[in-house]
Amino acid sequence: MSAMSGIQSKFSSAINKRQSLLDIDTDALRLFDGIGDRLDDTFLETFADHWVISTRDNQLDSEVRTFLEASGKSVYWKRLDQHQKEDPTHLCGEEQTGAFLAKESGVNYEISFQSGYSQGIFLDQRENRKRVRAAMSEGKTLLNTFAYTGAFSVCAALGGAITTTLDLSQPYLDWAKRNMQANDIDPSQHYFCKGDTFHWLKRFAKQGRKFDGIILDPPTFSRDDKGKVFRVESHYDQLISLATQCLAEDGWILASTNCRKLSDSDFLELVKKGLPRSAKVKALPMPSEYTGESYLKSLWINH
Ligand SMILES: C[S@@+](CC[C@H](N)C(=O)[O-])C[C@H]1O[C@@H](n2cnc3c(N)ncnc32)[C@H](O)[C@@H]1O
């Protein structure tokens, strides 16, 4: 048997280290985290035994390719070029032509390799999803803004909450409904709002509508349906301030960003600008398998 190459042994050791996180309840996980696993700009995620390798390079290192081909898994390749928004491309193993389910912390999520740049769930929010589920109970209400496929809404609904899922995109709202159904939650018992978060927050505030929990996890840059630009580094304080107007007494906000331009302390300062002085803010760490760059900043805010 030939000796394993340096790169192959880095992959094997990274995957072995994470084995304890993969169990009957979880088959979706980051398996390799770039520089944290001693290989810059290379990331591996598994979704129900289908792998996605992400690289910044347009060329795949030959040893990485050899490792992936020998794995026998169905493997897709994603280029982390900011301007690329395409589907990941099939690299080796079985092709996955339709949507399928993956599981995280006992919750099912629909995954697709044919729906653009993202596959249906951002795995770096795993611990935050657990926190949200634990913070909810029967009859509480949750507002999930910038909801994408509604993963936070599913967790809150499983925790007993009545959820409101808000996104600009109707296809993502439909996906969120399917994610609820995949967990035996009836979407007709929940609310779905299509449109801009700022618009809806102002509307809820005017109506006096309050929520026990609010999720804010916007993209770094976005343009709403009327062309108005949102940038995390310029507008997050306004977002927080509007959200606090829709927060019930004793309510909480989970505020996240993956904006790399902002340090942890920049983000904290920006968020505090939008909050009353009395608010309590706690920083939340990334999941333990993210051993590389600590890019995701999350704050738990009590009003
Ligand atoms: C980074 S994803 C959010 C991920 C999500 N929080 C999660 O954990 O799965 C960004 C989402 O925001 C939505 N979006 C972008 N701009 C928006 C806006 N102005 N109002 C509402 N949704 C918006 C996009 O359609 C996309 O689904």
Mean pLDDT by 10 residues, the chain (303 residues): 78 97 97 97 97 93 96 95 81 96 98 94 98 97 98 98 98 98 98 97 98 98 88 97 98 97 97 97 98 97 92
Name which residue sits closest to atom 18 of ligand 1, judged by CA: 196
Round to the nearest angstrom and report the end-to-end CA distance of the chain: 61
Q: Is the CB of 217 under 6 A from ligand 1?
A: yes
**What is the pLDDT, as a whole number, of residue 191?**
98
Give domain limits for the chain: 6-98, 123-302
**What is the pLDDT, as a whole number, of residue 82?**
60
Q: Is the CB of 246 under 6 A from ligand 1?
A: no
Residues in the chain: 303
- Alpha-carbon dihedral angle through residues 222, 223, 229, 232, given to the nearest 10 degrees: -10
**What is the pLDDT, as a whole number, of residue 1?**
42
**What is the pLDDT, as a whole number, of residue 84?**
64
**What is the pLDDT, as a whole number, of residue 106?**
98
Residue 266 phi, psi (nearest 5): -60, -45
Q: Is the CB of 241 under 6 A from ligand 1?
A: no
Q: Given the CA of residue 215, which atom of ligand 1 is nearest to it?
A: 6
Q: Which fold has domain 123-302?
A: Rossmann fold (3.40.50)
Task: State the distance from the centre of ligand 1 to the C-alpha of 273, rounded, in angstroms.
Answer: 22
What class, spelled out in words, does domain 6-98 have in CATH? Answer: alpha beta
**What is the pLDDT, as a whole number, of residue 3?**
60
Q: CA torsion sign, 23 to 25 to 31 to 35?
A: negative
Task: State the distance from the centre of ligand 1 to the C-alpha of 62, rounded, in angstroms.
Answer: 36
